[in-house]
Amino acid sequence: MPSKPAISYRNVSKSFGALRAVDDVSLDIAEGELLAVVGRSGSGKTTLLRLVNRLIEPDGGTITVEGRNVQDIDPVALRRRIGYVFQSGGLFPHLSVADNIGITPKLLGAPAAEIVARVDELIELMQLDRASHRDRLPEALSGGERQRVGVARALAAKPRIMLMDEPFGALAPLTRDALGEDFRELHRKLGLTTVMITHDMTEAILLADRIAVMRGGRLLAQGTPAELSASSDAYVLELLRTPRRQVERLNALLRQGGAA
């Protein structure tokens, strides 16, 4: 495992009124790592993610990105070098697929020809059809296509870090599976560091190198799937119960089918 952390939280807290959304969290994400953050809604996952690119400012503690305290970095510049995939895509409905994907390079002042080339490259990379998708508006896309465009947009300015807020949550199971696999492959190929929020433990186990479990704003546990399964925490075990049951059921069903 690489040694230098790409993202590091040190005793970070954030409250909204009386609610402690993130409560004294310390966490390192290594360079090249794919970390899944799991937990129920309201556990502080999204707040934790948004603290990285300063969409939310912490009340206490420090966050560093590639060794620098984010408070010392201009938030706009910070956001332009970190890819962010929104829960429901967050695509701008008045812009074409190409314009959505090319937005961050455009904000960075890249030449038009360069943006066109980059957009085509990403359409290809995300396995979208250039001819039929490029000039469409988001409303004309399927849910899965929209999420692929969302990922392409996040990757457009060649970030080294990706933040993903339940990127595949609203998709049909098959689409979701394919997209997850494809992203895992991209993550490896592009050498990204990724923090991905999910409420689905199965997805986390299948895609992530490590898993962080959030509950009530606190970081309850972290580790590889194997490390987590050795945990004695009741909540962590409860979270693991669902994928285990799925595995048993699938095995049983498939064995029956094979015997028939």
Binding-site ranges for other proteins (CB under 8 A): 53, 55, 76-77, 79-80, 84, 86-88, 90-94, 103-104, 107-108, 137, 153, 157
For other proteins, which is the closer residue by CB, 103 or 186?
103
For other proteins, which is the closer residue by CB, 77 or 253?
77
Backbone angles phi, psi at 142, to 5 degrees: -80, 165
Q: Closest separation between CB of residue 57 and other proteins, Å?
A: 13
Q: Where are the extended beta strands (E) located within 31-176?
A: 34-38, 60-65, 68-69, 82-85, 161-165
Q: Closest separation between CB of residue 153 and other proteins, Å?
A: 7
Q: Closest separation between CB of residue 185 and other proteins, Å?
A: 24
For other proteins, which is the closer residue by CB, 8 or 53?
53
Torsion sign across C-alpha atoms 90, 92, 96, 102: negative
Q: Closest separation between CB of residue 236 and other proteins, Å?
A: 30
For other proteins, which is the closer residue by CB, 19 or 108?
108
Specify whether the CB–CB gap between 220 and 235 falls below 8 A: yes
CA 170 to chain centre: 14
For other proteins, which is the closer residue by CB, 136 or 199?
136
Q: Closest separation between CB of residue 52 and other proteins, Å?
A: 11
Specify whether the CB–CB gap between 225 and 244 falls below 8 A: no
Backbone angles phi, psi at 152, to 5 degrees: -60, -40
Distance CA 96, CA 232 (A): 50
Distance CA 250, CA 84 (A): 34
Q: Closest separation between CB of residue 254 and other proteins, Å?
A: 40
CA proximity to 39, closest of 235, 228, 174, 181: 235
For other proteins, which is the closer residue by CB, 105 or 243?
105
Q: Closest separation between CB of residue 241 and other proteins, Å?
A: 33
For other proteins, which is the closer residue by CB, 5 or 150?
150
User: Concatenated DSSP letters for 168-223?
Assistant: TTTS-HHHHHHHHHHHHHHHHHHT-EEEEEES-HHHHHHH-SEEEEEETTEEEEEE
